[in-house]
Chains A and B, each alone.
Chain A
Amino acid sequence: MRFKTLLLTAIFVLPVHADDDYIQPIADQTTKDECSACHLAFPASMLPKASWQKIMNNLDNHFGEDASLDAQTTQHITDYLVAEAGDTGFWSSKFLRGLDSQSPPIRITETKYWIREHRGISDAKWKSERVGSKANCAACHRGAERGYYEDD
């Protein structure tokens, strides 16, 4: 009886974790601290390994700013992002659909999935004072820091 209850509970509880709007946030403290000093610590599953390697190899010219770190911290963050990247698990992340694995993007906003999810958002809204940058996820996705990307 107890087993049956457990099983039933599991069936109802599990889909919450498989929620389409939830994306596992960065769990490593150093990675979180360093990345989120300037922007939301974008989840590792949003890009493939090769993208994170490209980004981490070029921190002194990081989207128009010098974001360089000491060698040890850089290595630590690279290792974490690569281990948690979108093409690590058995199932690839939805952000990787249709990506050219030979030349992966370094911008999440260039993935086909991101573009599709954000179609129909006007230029005026992107440029509005509240948003201002496509990297400013939390302007509309209030729960982004906790991994929830439901619409505003």
Chain B
Amino acid sequence: MKSLIWIGITTALLASTVKAESIDSILSHYAESAQTETSSFGGFDAGRGKALYFKEFTGGKKDTPSCTSCHTKNPAQSGETRAGKSIDPMALSVNAKRYQSLKKTEKWFRRNCKSVLGRECTAVEKGDFLTFMKNS
């Protein structure tokens, strides 16, 4: 009986480690893609992520030239959509609920990179951005 319980606990633990996604597992995913993208890839950089966050682009939609248009100049603060809805902070330090799903992360990168930059972001850009959020 005891051994059965242990088997159950171990299985549950294993299942949870396999399934859970975190900012680190998402970053490793982007690191793998970045290596195939650029052979000279030397790791992500929070400074480059910060520059990306603040940069004003002209290729995207005119109402959203920068990440800061909706997320404010401080990622640890709540932002606001153009329709007046509050956006939870992006910085991991104040919002542990973020970056728990690669699928969700990809969805928002795809949409928001197109809205702001006018194109999809590269794996390096995504990884830099997340590294900045991890350190913010």
Chain B residues near A136 (CB, 8 Å)?
83-85
- How long is the Cα–Cα vector from A38 to B115 in the complex, in angstroms? 14
**Could you say which interface size class chain B belongs to?**
10 to 19
Partner of B111, one of A40, A63, A66, A132: A66
Q: Contacts A66-B114, A66-B115; is A40 near B85 (CB within 8 Å)?
A: yes
22 A-B interface contacts by CB (under 8 A):
A37-B85, A38-B83, A39-B81, A39-B85, A60-B114, A61-B61, A63-B82, A64-B82, A65-B64, A65-B115, A66-B61, A66-B110, A66-B112, A68-B110, A68-B111, A68-B114, A69-B107, A133-B83, A136-B83, A136-B84, A138-B84, A139-B84
Q: Which of B69-126 contact A (CB under 8 A)?
A: 81-85, 107, 110-112, 114-115
Q: Which of A33-68 contact B (CB under 8 A)?
A: 36-40, 60-61, 63-68
On whether the beta carbons of B62 and A64 are closer than 8 Å, the reply is: yes
Q: Which residues of B contact A (CB under 8 A)?
A: 61-64, 81-85, 107, 110-112, 114-115
Chain B facing A: main interface SS? loop
Q: Which of A84-138 contact B (CB under 8 A)?
A: 131-133, 135-136, 138
Which residue of the partner chain A has the closest CB to B114?
Answer: A66
CB distance from A121 to the nearest CB of B (A): 15
Partner of A65, one of B63, B84, B107, B110: B63
Chain A facing B: main interface SS? loop
- How long is the Cα–Cα vector from A36 to B84 in the complex, in angstroms? 11
Shortest 10 CB-CB contacts between residues of A and residues of B: A136-B84, A39-B83, A135-B83, A66-B114, A66-B111, A64-B63, A66-B115, A38-B81, A65-B115, A133-B84
On whether the beta carbons of A135 and B115 are closer than 8 Å, the reply is: no
